Amino acid sequence: MQTAPIHFDTFNALADKVAQIRIEEARASLGKRAVLLCHHYQRADVYRHADITGDSLKLSRLASQSDAEYIVFCGVHFMAEVADILSRPNQISILPDLAAGCSMADMASLAKVERCWRELSSVLNPDETVTPVTYINSAADLKAFCGAHGGIVCTSSNAPKILEWSFARREKVLFFPDQHLGRWSGHKMGIPLDQMVIWNPDLEMGGLTVEQIRNAKIILWHGYCSVHQMFQPSQIAKFRAQYPEGKVISHPECSFEVCQQSDAIGSTETIIRIVKESAPGTRWLVGTELNLVDRLAEEVKHEGKIVQFMADTICMCSTMQRIDPQHLAWTLENLVAGNVVNQIKVPEHEAKLAKIALERMLDAS
Ligand code: 13P
Ligand code: SF4
| Model confidence pLDDT, tens digit, residues 155-198 | 999 999 999 999 999 999 999 999 999 999 999 999 999 999 99
The answer, as to whether pTM is greater than 0.75, is: yes
The reply to whether 228-309 shares the fold of 9-101+319-346 is yes
Asked whether 267 lines ligand 1 (CB < 6 A), one says yes
Average pLDDT, the chain: 96
3-state SS class at 226: coil
pLDDT at 65 over 90: no
Q: What's 9-101+319-346's CATH class?
A: alpha beta
Query: How many angstroms separate the alpha carbon of residue 98 from the centre of ligand 1?
Result: 19
pLDDT of residue 1: 57
b/e map 10-19, b = 16+ CB within 10 Å: ebeebeeeeb
Among 95, 137, 180, the mutation site with the greatest number of ligand 2 atoms within 8 A of its Cβ is 137
Q: Kindly state the average pLDDT of the residues 319-328.
A: 97
Which region among 38-42, 59-63, 134-138, 340-344 has the lowest average model confidence (pLDDT)?
A: 59-63
Summarize pLDDT for 126-157 with one digit per residue, the tens. 999 999 999 999 999 999 999 999 999 999 99
> How large is the average pLDDT for residues 310-330?
94
User: Which of the following CATH numbers is that of domain 228-309: 3.40.50.300, 3.30.465.10, 3.40.50.970, 3.40.50.10800?
Assistant: 3.40.50.10800
Residues 223, 82: Cα–Cα separation, whole Å = 20
* Ligand 2 nearest-atom number relative to CA 317: 3
Confidence of residue 2 (pLDDT cuts 50, 70, 90): low
For the beta sheet containing 130-135, the strands, ordered from the edge strand earlier in sequence to the opposite edge, are 152-154, 130-135, 172-176, 218-221, 196-199
44 CA to centre of own chain: 18
Distance in Å, CA 156 to ligand 1 centroid: 6
Pocket test for ligand 1, best of 37, 40, 41 (most atoms within 8 A of CB): 41
- Report, at the CATH architecture level, how domain 105-225 is classified: 3-Layer(aba) Sandwich (3.40)
| Residue 304: C-alpha distances to residues 86, 121, 246, 263 (Å) | 41, 57, 13, 20
* Domain residue spans of the chain: 9-101+319-346, 105-225, 228-309
Q: Return the beta strands (E) in the chain as ranges.
A: 34-39, 52-54, 70-74, 92-94, 130-135, 152-154, 172-176, 196-199, 218-221, 247-250, 264-265, 283-287, 306-309
